[in-house]
Amino acid sequence: DGGITQSPKYLFRKEGQNVTLSCEQNLNHDAMYWYRQDPGQGLRLIYYSQIVNDFQKGDIAEGYSVSREKKESFPLTVTSAQKNPTAFYLCASTKGRNTGELFFGEGSRLTVL
Amino acid sequence: DQQVKQNSPSLSVQEGRISILNCDYTNSMFDYFLWYKKYPAEGPTFLISISSIKDKNEDGRFTVFLNKSAKHLSLHIVPSQPGDSAVYFCAAERGANNLFFGTGTRLTVIP
């Protein structure tokens, strides 16, 4: 079945460490996105990519980095520069650039100890 | 600045009754509106959408209403079922890759 797979589902990190969250999709979607969800807040866009080897900053990109070397993959690195990294991270994809009907993965919960 | 607002963090409804979830937005340039449903520890799933050229869209038990003059969006679920218990996010789009989410409303349907 087609879908979006995020891993790991749960991750613990010590302060000062970088961590990379994986996102893979087999939906043949062009655009991929990373969102962050915090309690009491809506989903906030971190980075997005419309095509391979191209990506754009979202509203809260500071302290994060991404790559898009393959159409299927859009990993997110949470760097030590991110001041408050503990959150629920959601990866999403969509076929075209003009639709908001995103397909989401199940999310990765990152906890910084 | 929150451009999409869901002012009710939670809502409880009796099974079989109507659930009405509300959403307000501030940007008149939004041209497409969506509702997503989210269960705990899962990603949101798309539920229903509406274009700004329409004022109503219906899909089974779910109906979305758009009042552009009031910049208000609502989702009606009737009849409500226990399986509808989830967090509902409204979202608004302004062109490509500009999707703004509300803070969510937790719906609890009481059997």
Residue range A80-87: average pLDDT? 89
Q: How far is CA B26 from the centre of its chain?
A: 15
Q: What percent of chain B has pLDDT over 90?
A: 85
- Per-residue pLDDT band for A60 (boundaries 50, 70, 90) equals very high
Mean pLDDT value across chain B: 93
Tokens of A74: 């859009």
| Contact (CB, 8 A) for B30 and B92 | yes
- Tell me the C-alpha to C-alpha distance, in Å, between residue B52 and each of A17, B29, B56: 45, 9, 10
| Cβ <8 Å between B32 and A100 | yes
The shortest C-alpha distance from B68 to chain A (Å) reads: 19
- Tell me the C-alpha to C-alpha distance, in Å, between residue A29 and each of A5, A96, B28, B107: 13, 7, 29, 31
The pLDDT score that the predictor gives to residue B110 is: 97
Q: How does strand B19-25 pair with strand B62-67?
A: unpaired
Residue range B23-38: average pLDDT? 94
The pLDDT score that the predictor gives to residue A100 is: 66
Residue range B47-75: average pLDDT? 96
Tokens of B52: 């700004």
The pLDDT score that the predictor gives to residue A101 is: 83
| Cβ <8 Å between B93 and A100 | yes
A39 touches chain B (CB under 8 A): no
| Contact (CB, 8 A) for A16 and A83 | no
B26 touches chain A (CB under 8 A): no
- Per-residue pLDDT band for B63 (boundaries 50, 70, 90) equals very high
The pLDDT score that the predictor gives to residue B21 is: 98
CA-CA-CA-CA torsion sign (B57, B58, B59, B64): positive
Using a CB-CB cut-off of 8 Å, the residues of chain A touching B4 are: 42
DSSP designation for B67: E
Residue range A93-107: average pLDDT? 81
